[in-house]
A and B are shown apart, each in its own frame.
Chain A
């Protein structure tokens, strides 16, 4: 199939350039000021921008095992609606993605039915139980791009060192969810001003920071490539700064919600503000924004974590941690950080495209002739209402439910296929 995109502002080399784009099957064939090629579909993208398809290093597709929350079909549809063309599936499925059969199941389903590319992340330890190393080398031959016990954290430092040495043996990046269980305790929200005020147990920043400090040291000793998921505190960022200054292969990601919200959002007991790590202090949030701007934070990842209504509609203490993020990521960040001049549009787009591609060595992330036809067309001025009806994810657990946000995804094309199309586009 050939698709011709006319009159677009194309994002190339950190700038928006007026051009037409011709997509021929799976590749971007031509980019030029005026193209008049014959095509099966012509999209008029006046007023819109064409960005490389977004890449998410951190999504929970809940498939297999918790398909009442999300599955590979709905999860990738949500991704396409959010402008994503590639997402990494975290292994905390049921059963845990800790073996090659599970890896192949996800890849096969995604290939057959998915609306985006899905890269699989395997578990670090069997069942993510933090007791024995998983068959990560076999999973790597099956296509995993990294290992992680996300949602859980290997508490045993000796085992973690061993996992890192083993992962480095096979050149597999290790992604950590940094949380010391004892320090986190029964914590529900950030241990700070709001936890003192409303009496919900706190998760101190220390719970994250001591594990990041530990794992940087372990990774250095093991020669492992370390990626820190959803970093959230100023002190964690200092640890990463020191590691990077030493030249260690340490990278990190931040979520949209940690860039935009702080602990105050929890004051009304809205369970859609409950996630791990928790929304931190305003000082932590500002440190994350600054670190993103400086490039200390490598990329933005959603930590898309679907939960059903009946699970979130509970007492705060009993509701599960996590919010969905694939569909709202760009609009939330565009509205709160770009329009308010806290970061540039280029900073945002790179953190959603080329930067995550680079962290795990994934294809895509830029628009040029010969590149994979992974793009998203966004009208920055137009708003999307994120109502239950409009959200394509099976779950609706987002603090931006029923918010109308600018930066509307009009079209997403993945591997040359139309994966999302706004009703206004013919």
Chain B
């Protein structure tokens, strides 16, 4: 496999600027990477001499590890910048931080930030390609890619599949990127959650289906994705209690009877067992939650390979 020119040096901010063919191309590349990850010696020399920086202004151990493992397995050098132990706490601006890092010779940035649009800034300041590892409520394209990869691996083509995403739609970057990409690939997406956690204009903005009732949302679903419910939404006055939320929106054997019999169960993690998903479902035979994590490394390897022009 040789690096494809449409990816070389190109930042990934979100999936809106990627064609269905390009998305499929990334998935195909990830398939090859997954095979490497299953070997005893999980490393190829393709990005030797390249330097990848994980720039995590918002903490996330899992995603950062996934990016770093991906870079390591391609033999790139990896440096890690974490806001909690860095100069940003001393008041250094993102601009100055990037100038400093850039002076050290970074080839690719993987950024996580609480503020939407920050990956674009890193790209602007550094002139280097950037992979968005999650920017506020905006986008999380590598998560969407790994979700789609996981579905594609099990069910093949997404065209015509009914995918239902349940939970805090308002605050989820995972939903936004998934909606864009899944619909591009022909899936029919329904989003479901309480009205207080749902933007009022989801249908008109995304052309997806909106349901407030879980049973109706799950009807005939091929894929069901739960989202993490965050406690702080309670203090924001958006829902009264985890118990009440759970009563209406938990993924359980009981509620999943509306979905197709072999519907895939997904969750971007970390899970609140017993709140948005019951263990019987999270650990059940239809769950691919753990595989999602494994596929995440493969997807990120594929992207780094394509963007940095790795040699096969």
Contacts and interface: CB of A to CB of B under 8 A. Distances in A.
Interface in B96-116: 113-116
Contacts of A315: 94, 113, 115, 117-118, 121
Given A315-B117, A317-B114, A317-B115, A200 B201 contact: no
Given A199-B139, A199-B176, 17 more contacts: A193-B201, A193-B204, A195-B199, A196-B205, A199-B135, A199-B137, A199-B138, A200-B138, A268-B120, A269-B116, A310-B93, A310-B95, A314-B93, A315-B113, A316-B117, A316-B118, A317-B136
Contacts of A310: 93, 95
B202 interface: yes
Contacts of A192: 201
A193 B139 contact: no
Interface of B: 93-95, 113-118, 120-121, 135-139, 173, 176, 199, 201-202, 204-205
Contacts of A313: 93, 95
B117 A196 contact: no
A310 B94 CA distance: 11
A341 interface: no
7 contacts: A196-B202, A197-B205, A198-B116, A199-B176, A269-B120, A315-B113, A315-B118
A105 interface: no
Q: Which of A192, A197, A310, A314 has the most CB of B within 10 A?
A: A197
Contacts of B204: 193
Nearest to B137: A199
A316 B121 CA distance: 9
A7 B120 CA distance: 52
A196 B201 CA distance: 7
B93 A193 contact: no
A201 B170 CA distance: 10
> Secondary structure of the A side of the interface?
helix
A139 B117 CA distance: 44
Interface in A180-215: 192-193, 195-201
Nearest to A195: B199
A197 B120 CA distance: 16
B199 A196 contact: yes
A182 B150 CA distance: 41
> Secondary structure of the B side of the interface?
mixed
A170 interface: no
Nearest to A185: B236
A318 interface: yes
Contact of A199 (B121, B173, B201): B173
Contacts of A198: 116-117, 138
Contacts of B139: 199
Contacts of B117: 198, 200, 269, 315-316
Contacts of B94: 314-315
A200 B138 CA distance: 7
A193 B118 contact: no
A341 to B, nearest CB: 30
A200 B176 CA distance: 12
Contacts of A195: 199
A195 B117 CA distance: 12
B184 to A, nearest CB: 15
Contacts of B205: 193, 196-197
A257 B95 CA distance: 27
Interface string A303-326: 000000010011111100000000
Shortest beta-carbon contacts, A-B, top 6: A269-B117, A199-B137, A199-B138, A315-B115, A317-B115, A196-B199
A281 to B, nearest CB: 10
Contact of A316 (B93, B115, B176, B199): B115
A199 B135 CA distance: 9
Interface in A83-113: none
A197 B117 CA distance: 12
A318 B115 CA distance: 8
Contacts of A201: 137
A318 B135 CA distance: 14
Contacts of B115: 315-318
Contacts of A314: 93-95
A163 B94 CA distance: 42
Contacts of B136: 199-200, 317
Nearest to B57: A315
B95 A316 contact: no
A317 B136 CA distance: 10
Nearest to B138: A199
A196 B208 CA distance: 13
Contacts of A316: 115-118
B202 A199 contact: no
A137 to B, nearest CB: 41
A332 B242 CA distance: 51
Interface in A130-172: none
B121 to A, nearest CB: 6
A317 B135 CA distance: 11
Q: Which of A196, A199, A310, A313 has the most CB of B within 10 A?
A: A199
A314 B92 CA distance: 11
B202 A200 contact: no
Contacts of B173: 199
B116 A199 contact: yes
A316 B113 CA distance: 11
A172 B93 CA distance: 43
Nearest to A193: B205
A315 B117 CA distance: 7
Contacts of B199: 195-196
A322 to B, nearest CB: 18
A201 B116 CA distance: 9
